[in-house]
Amino acid sequence: MRPPIIRVEELSKRFTLGETRSGNLRESLVGAAAALLGRTRRQHAAPDELWALRDVSFEVAEGEVLGIIGANGAGKSTLLRILSRITTPTGGRAEIRGRVASLLEVGTGFHPELTGRENVRLNGAILGMGRREIAQRFDEIVDFAGIEAFLDTPVKRYSSGMRMRLAFAVAAHLEPEILIIDEVLAVGDVAFQQRCLGKMSEVAHSGRTVLFVSHNMAAVEGLCDRALLLDRGQVAARGDVRSVIAEYLARAAVGPTPDGPIARSADGGLEVTTIELVDRDDLPLGAVQSGRSFSLRLDLACAAPLRRIGIQLAVNDALGARVAVLSSAVAGAESDLQPGTHRVQCLVRELPLVPGAYTLELKVLAGSECLLFERRAAPLLVEGGDFFGTGRLPPEGWGGRCLLHQSWSIESAKSDAESPA
Amino acid sequence: MTEPDESRSGRIDGIVITPPRGLGTVDLAELWRFRELIGFLALRDVKVRYKQAALGVSWAVLQPLLTMVVFSVLFGFLMGAEGKPTVEGVPYAVSTFCALVPWQLFATALSFSGNSIVQNQNLVTKVYFPRLVLPIAPIIAALVDFGAAFAVLLLMMLAYGIVPGAAIALLPFFVVLALATALAVSLWLSALNALYRDVRYALPFLTQLWFFVTPCVYTTASVLGEAPPWAHWLYAANPMVGVVEGFRWALIGGPAPATGALLASSIAVVVLLVGGAIYFRRMERVFADWV
């Protein structure tokens, strides 16, 4: 068997926070002198230390397309920056066998005063293409970006979309053995995004090794076969992309879990102790993917018998606007409760919400009387998912709150087909 | 930090990333592989510098020219038309412009190179390439401005009927010395600048002071004529003294710079350059985290 193309062993990176600001010049001159002499200053275990990565180990086989996922601050970008040799690790090692091109940002080094033509050459050189390589692919790049007419216009006169298209086009035509990509898909208009995704999967399926970081779970699931989950600088899961995404969703921040009950009625006779998101197998979820089915689970405790109890969970968006209401009364599930604890479960099928942070507003009614109300009872985190079953999601810039199942057909009238315009 | 494993005909086949240890070393082979990037960045600097400037590259000529005019008038008032500090038998205007052209080359190179890491922080934090490329590119770019000013200098010499002697063959040495001095200082300052922005503000001031201790608007002889030898040696510790007087010697027949002093300042520049390169390589490990 061939050795892995990337082997990472116990890679660690420590940041010392605040050092830049607090150091005075004299101190740093002394430090610089010591540094020059090869003596690194010993850092005492200061409280302002942060391990962005801690003992991360993994291997990547040749041709593997590995997704790297994790919450913000989990160390994904630091890992990519170390593997791209932009920054150095504090400990451990990484072996890379092959030419690496990393794309941590689209349009790195673009200069607004230079023309499109000049920027293609400059950007190509920055990304590691030789002069000849750039010349060979120049037409292809311009064609892909669709900006032929503006080649000799300074890039500062381009629309942001055009700039992004040109930048992505250059990057997409790199031909390294290993490609490292960080969140570059969220650029340009929709048509161009589709082409980007298409180009990406072309790269992914051409036998090249790809490391791909994204928050778009649909894109990760569509492009990658395997994934690596980072959590606070450590590898939390590694393996098949679906299982790792599931693990990620289970871990995603649930928010602070209060010790006491979530809500209590005015007379204290009714308490809601927990609200949880669970998947079909009853495993708790930290976040839900668009298009997935899940259940909301509530635990209630009541002191006295209650009649005609209805439970309402309203989904509010980050701005507090009502997006949807789940109601047991509307669903025909009003019921009487005996004293004791009860578990209420509400199944939501194929969640049609766009990704975002929502909150659940809780109301418990007896008939039409409101017993209990809690404006922010629990968070509902929605992550990008494969709602349409096509691996595609509308881009964030599109707006909209909900996703609709749809099927399209286009029929051409006979007369039109016979006389093409 | 990284050890390229060049088993197949000079191409990188694999790299090992480990925590950096010890002194920085300069990988000249890698730098050579990235020569095209140096060229592209220099080209970018040249193209961008005078974009949307109505006078364009004329600025490269106007700056030394106006400086020369101002000092010509000033010294005219102070010392009278005959007393201006100039090379014997050469008009003050030519003697001064001849010194300002290499000075401007040095000052431009220093100012762009000294700020290069900060200016290009978007690159430093996003792409890998040998960081030494950044301070080197503006040094190359400064040669374009120099070319324009040098052409004007030649025209001026032609107008005054001044013909350079055989010493002109050594002119490239002085150009290289000016560039090497600029690069040596920039390696220290650009690295320091990434960590402490004080450098950005200190740099123009430093350049100005340096200008006044360099015999641009006067000649070495006019200030050190009667001074003891040690003063000459001390003065020659400034490599730009050698560059400026070297230009006057090579082009307009000024006094030959003392070989010993020139050798001493060349050695000083080389030491500063090597030390700067090592310091830069050591500090570049934290550029991306600190810049």
> What residues are paired with A326 via a beta bridge?
A313
CB within 8 Å: A82 and B196:
no
CB within 8 Å: B19 and A90:
yes
Phi, psi (deg, nearest 5) at residue A373: -145, 130
Tokens of B167: 């010493």
CB within 8 Å: A84 and B198:
no
Considering chain A, tell me which residue range(s) the CATH 3.40.50.300 domain(s) occupy: 6-250
Kind and range of the H or E element at A58? strand A49-60
Chain B nearest-CA distance from A242, in A, is 30
Phi, psi (deg, nearest 5) at residue A344: -110, 135
- DSSP structure class, residue A17: T
Lowest mean pLDDT among A12-21, A126-135, A184-193: A184-193
Which of A352, A353, A371 minimizes the C-alpha distance to A362? Answer: A371
Residue at B13 is within a domain = no
Pair B191, B284: CB distance under 8 Å: yes
Per-residue pLDDT of chain B (291 residues; tens, 9 = 90+): 444 433 333 334 578 888 888 777 788 888 998 898 999 999 999 888 887 777 878 888 898 999 989 998 888 888 877 778 888 888 999 999 999 999 999 999 999 999 999 999 889 988 889 999 999 999 999 999 999 999 999 999 999 999 888 889 999 999 999 999 999 999 999 999 988 888 999 999 999 999 999 999 998 888 887 788 888 888 888 999 999 999 999 999 888 888 888 888 899 899 999 999 999 998 888 888 877
Quick one: how far is CA B225 from the chain centroid? 27
Quick one: how far is CA A71 from the chain centroid? 8
Mean pLDDT over A134-159 rounds to 90
- Fold that domain A6-250 belongs to in CATH: Rossmann fold (3.40.50)
Lowest mean pLDDT among A9-18, A50-59, A117-126, B187-196: A9-18
pLDDT at residue A47, as a whole number: 54
Taking only the tens place, the pLDDT of each residue in A298-311 is 998 888 888 888 99
Chain A nearest-CA distance from B37, in A, is 5
CB within 8 Å: A85 and B15:
yes
B:189-218 residues touching chain A, CB 8 A cutoff: 192, 195-196, 198
CA-to-CA distance for A244 and A252, rounded, in angstroms? 12
Taking only the tens place, the pLDDT of each residue in A412-421 is 887 655 554 4
Say if A175 is an interface residue toward chain B (CB within 8 Å): no
- Neighbour-count burial for A212-221, b at 16+ CB within 10 Å, e otherwise: bbbbbbbbbb
Considering chain A, tell me which residue range(s) the CATH 2.70.50.60 domain(s) occupy: 263-386+393-398
Tokens of B181: 């001095």
Residues B217-225: contacts with CB within 8 Å, 24+ apart? B217/B67, B217/B68, B217/B71, B217/B75, B217/B85, B217/B96, B217/B99, B217/B100, B218/B75, B218/B85, B219/B85, B219/B86, B219/B87, B219/B95, B219/B245, B219/B248, B219/B254, B220/B245, B220/B255, B221/B255, B222/B85, B222/B86, B223/B85
Mean residue pLDDT of chain A comes to 82
pLDDT at residue A16 is higher than 90:
no
Q: Name chain B contacts of A35, Cβ cutoff 8 Å.
A: 282-283
For residue A130, the one-letter residue type is G
Structural domain total, chain B: 1
Pair A134, A124: CB distance under 8 Å: yes
Q: Name chain A contacts of B129, Cβ cutoff 8 Å.
A: 126, 128
Chain B nearest-CA distance from A122, in A, is 6
Q: Name chain B contacts of A83, Cβ cutoff 8 Å.
A: 17
* Chains A & B: contacts with CB separation below 8 Å: 118
Taking only the tens place, the pLDDT of each residue in A229-260 is 998 899 999 999 988 988 887 776 454 455 56
Q: Residues of chain A with pLDDT > 90: what percent?
A: 24
Q: Which range marks the domain in which residue B236 is found? A: 35-290
Tokens of B196: 């402490």
Which of A246, A230, A257, A244 minimizes the C-alpha distance to A379? Answer: A257
For residue B278, the one-letter residue type is I
Chain A nearest-CA distance from B97, in A, is 32
Higher pLDDT, B99 or A45: B99
Q: Tell me which residue has tokens 């003891």.
A: B228
Q: Name chain B contacts of A99, Cβ cutoff 8 Å.
A: 11-12
pLDDT at residue A15, as a whole number: 84
CATH code for the domain defined by A263-386+393-398: 2.70.50.60
pLDDT at residue B3, as a whole number: 41
Please give the full DSSP string across A115-181, using - where no structure is assigned.
BHHHHHHHHHHHTT--HHHHHHHHHHHHHHHT-GGGTTSBGGGS-HHHHHHHHHHHHHT---SEEEE
Quick one: how far is CA A323 from the chain centroid? 22
pLDDT at residue A23, as a whole number: 44
Residue at B226 is within a domain = yes
Tokens of A109: 């080094």
Residue at B14 is within a domain = no
**HSE, side-chain direction, 13 A CA sphere, residue A43:** 12
Chain B nearest-CA distance from A326, in A, is 46
Taking only the tens place, the pLDDT of each residue in A87-126 is 999 999 999 998 888 888 777 788 888 899 999 999 888 8
Q: Name chain B contacts of A126, Cβ cutoff 8 Å.
A: 37, 40, 123, 127, 129
Residue at B107 is within a domain = yes
CA-to-CA distance for A191 and B135, rounded, in angstroms? 40
Q: Name chain A contacts of B19, Cβ cutoff 8 Å.
A: 88-92
A:59-98 residues touching chain B, CB 8 A cutoff: 81-98
